Amino acid sequence: MYKTKIDLSEKTRRNAIVMLNDRLSDAIDLQSQVKQAHWNVKGPHFIALHELFDKISDAMLEQIDEIAERVTSLGGTAEGTVAVAARRSKLKNYPLSITSGRDHLLYLSTQLSVYGKSVRGAIEATAELGDADTADLFTQLSREIDKYLWFLEAHLQDKA
């Protein structure tokens, strides 16, 4: 770890960094899965979903940056390579054969909910460590995840 004048104990920072790097892996994996859907969606709602998936991908890239920068501000090393993300991510592998908009929506909404659950767990865990700033970051991410989960699920909730 690198020296910092942040007034959190080294133990607190180390534990927070582990949680942040774990969520970083999930976020990198999820962003690539959303991009997979963006590139390969087909069907009558193509353009709406293509644009929605791109918007979610952009939001995930911002989350990735926020998480990685928090790691480094705590004196850690952001472990954000694709190889690390593939090894650590808690998300299921994205089926490459999906093309229908509905199938992408179903799969991505599940993946986003899994990511959201892990982020919510990190809110509580980092708060218990006494790292309110990291807990606040995770809270911010959680609100955004829930918003995009709503956007995906709204496409699946018609009464027809």
**pLDDT-derived band of residue 158, with 50, 70 and 90 as boundaries?**
confident
DSSP conformation letters of 128-159 = HHT-HHHHHHHHHHHHHHHHHHHHHHHTT---
| Residue 56 identity | I
When pLDDT is cut at 50, 70 and 90, the band that residue 160 belongs to is low
Strand-pair partners of 42:
100
> Tens of pLDDT along 54-67?
999 999 999 999 99
b/e per residue 77-97 (b: at least 16 CB within 10 A): ebbbeeeebeebbebeebeee
Class of domain 10-154: mainly alpha
Residue 159: which pLDDT band, with cuts at 50, 70 and 90?
low
Per-residue confidence (pLDDT) for residue 59, from 0 to 100:
98
Domain boundaries defined on the chain: 10-154
pLDDT in tens, 105-133: 999 999 999 999 999 999 999 999 999 99
Query: pLDDT grade, residue 156 (50/70/90)?
Result: very high
